[in-house]
Chain A
């Protein structure tokens, strides 16, 4: 295959403007080269593409491309029932699929005016926080791997596997959980599950301290991350950056505090905020958020009580197998539920939830049918990936890898 057909630019035809500023690190005079990084490159997290014009090793100009994992989720949302769409939310941010499940269910429930029972809400909160911890462990771990700290990553990865085992006990799946239902949960938590979760939080806290000792004061890590890819408070607000990236720059907004759904009002936790907005501060904020999430989980485990997990509403509640197999009405109800779905009253709502990466929003417009008229998914990664080009301008290409890891762009959520 010729280089052109593989998408590699034919540099002979590309006109590059002569340099205006001399880079002291440029050993080859004022040479300019255009490199194409991705869509399949080990340092790019998922199928992302960046085209950069380099002066020596410094990125002078660049642009990013996305859409390689586009699966038309918003179109599917208009062509699937609300119940069927739960499985598609797993594939948004696949590092924290439970969080997406929870956020999606909350948004449909808001449209229908439903509120799940206490036990379901506590289990959902544990799920959401576990997913957040998994996502943060992966993010800081891979960020460190990209910059050369491999063993650090394995510490986090082990705890992540332990968390997945707990999630497997809950719903039978590890990655694509599809755990929540509109108005309830797939299954109740097994007996003694919360004790195991609590033991896991204790262990994770210990491992987190070890990870801290390994990396936080590490001289190489500090040199590679401090002052790199700075994105300040004003820029975060202007560019719609949310979540840990914005909090690392001093934006003290956490949607769990500003719009406390479920029982976030009744648990104690702090929102870590840093000032510098560089790669190092994003790392620190994520590490502290893991600790706060562990706090929330252990409080949830203490406060959780036995009780129903389904809202008492015939429209959304999936009929019990006992009823379906023994009564005619139950069978018809079951058939109608899965074949045609339930009607959601006409209306529209934008529901946002603090996902691991930032504000995950579902803007649903319903016309009173079982399928949404518009299912807009606001993934935080789109808005974060957009800032990469101006963020890394003037930095070295190796810093771009660190910056990309720190904003934690997940291709599933980016391309939807």
Chain B
């Protein structure tokens, strides 16, 4: 028994997917539905230029109503394009979840979601820190977990498991960061 057996159908999302397809037809690369692909919720692969529009639509549309950004992260797929930025959304009214993904190659920028969810700020900083994906228009894109002097991005697959770096002093206070 695998995940396909667990998720009986994608019926709950059927009307929503149709609605998204009509509005973002040319910008959607692929839609993976549960039952066909081994996933728990539908995954919408969107082109980078329409990412923020789609997220805004998912958030503000009365019927879809995915107003809660559950998680923002990325994966290193080791193929071209290398990374996938992943948005896990949750709707408080319909109690449904959906996943939006955007493929990015190394060095390419993604548009920030901080204008849609101010809470995406630190999550995007973490993605920059761990994967080295830059977010265009982010208010202050600096490292979140690692030290500012750290070299490399630890969650990339080519980063070694024991890639330690040592610092004798703690990070200096930077008054530019005061907000």
Contact = CB atoms under 8 A, between A and B. Distances in A.
Given A7-B171, A14-B175, 11 more contacts: A7-B169, A51-B178, A70-B145, A111-B3, A239-B117, A348-B39, A363-B86, A374-B76, A376-B71, A378-B71, A378-B88
A7 B123 CA distance: 26
B152 interface: no
Nearest to A107: B40
A362 B145 CA distance: 19
B158 interface: no
B68 A240 contact: yes
Contact of A374 (B75, B117, B118, B123): B75
Interface of A is mostly: mixed
B170 A361 contact: no
A365 interface: yes
- Which of A67, A240, A359, A415 is packed against the most chain B CB atoms within 10 Å? A240
Interface in A362-414: 363, 365, 373-374, 376, 378, 382-383, 386-387, 389
A75 B38 CA distance: 23
A176 interface: no
A239 to B, nearest CB: 4
- Which of A6, A16, A361 is packed against the most chain B CB atoms within 10 Å? A361
Contact of B3 (A5, A53, A238, A347): A347
B10 interface: no
Interface stretch (B14-22, B47-55, B91-99): B91-99
B178 to A, nearest CB: 4
A111 B41 CA distance: 12
Contact of A376 (B73, B118, B177): B73
Interface of B: 1-3, 5-6, 37-41, 67-71, 73, 75-76, 86, 88, 90, 92, 95, 97, 99, 117-123, 126, 130, 143-147, 154-155, 159, 161, 168-173, 175, 177-179
Contact of A251 (B86, B92, B95, B143): B92
A9 B86 CA distance: 38
Given A36-B173, A70-B146, A378 B70 contact: yes
A51 B172 CA distance: 11
Closest 9 CB pairs of A and B: A347-B38, A239-B119, A7-B170, A61-B178, A67-B145, A113-B1, A9-B173, A240-B119, A349-B40
A267 B76 CA distance: 41
29 contacts: A4-B172, A6-B170, A7-B170, A9-B172, A15-B175, A36-B173, A51-B178, A63-B177, A66-B144, A72-B154, A110-B3, A110-B40, A112-B1, A112-B3, A113-B1, A238-B118, A239-B117, A345-B38, A347-B38, A347-B39, A348-B38, A348-B39, A349-B39, A349-B40, A350-B40, A350-B88, A361-B70, A365-B75, A378-B73
Contacts of A416: 145
Given A111-B3, A237-B92, A238-B118, A51 B71 contact: no
A161 interface: no
A359 B70 contact: yes
Contacts of B92: 237, 251, 253
Contacts of A15: 175
Contacts of A84: none
Contacts of A415: 145
Contacts of A9: 172-173
Contact of B155 (A36, A75, A238): A75
Contacts of B76: 374
Nearest to B125: A386
Contact of B68 (A36, A39, A66, A237): A237
A7 B75 contact: no
A34 interface: yes
Contacts of A242: 68
A363 B71 contact: yes
B19 to A, nearest CB: 22
A239 B96 CA distance: 19
A361 B71 contact: yes
Contacts of B144: 66-67
A7 B88 contact: no
Contact of B161 (A75, A111, A363): A75
A6 B121 CA distance: 29
Nearest to B88: A350
A76 B95 CA distance: 32
A34 B73 contact: no
A39 B178 CA distance: 17
A346 B32 CA distance: 14
A65 B146 CA distance: 10
A241 interface: yes
B39 A361 contact: no
A350 B178 contact: no
Contacts of B70: 240, 350, 352, 359, 361, 378
A51 B88 contact: no
A34 B88 contact: no
A111 B90 CA distance: 19
B178 A63 contact: yes
A4 B169 CA distance: 9
A386 B130 CA distance: 18
A365 B71 CA distance: 14
B94 to A, nearest CB: 10
Nearest to B73: A376
A90 B2 CA distance: 27
Contacts of B147: 67
- Which of A16, A349, A351, A389 is packed against the most chain B CB atoms within 10 Å? A349
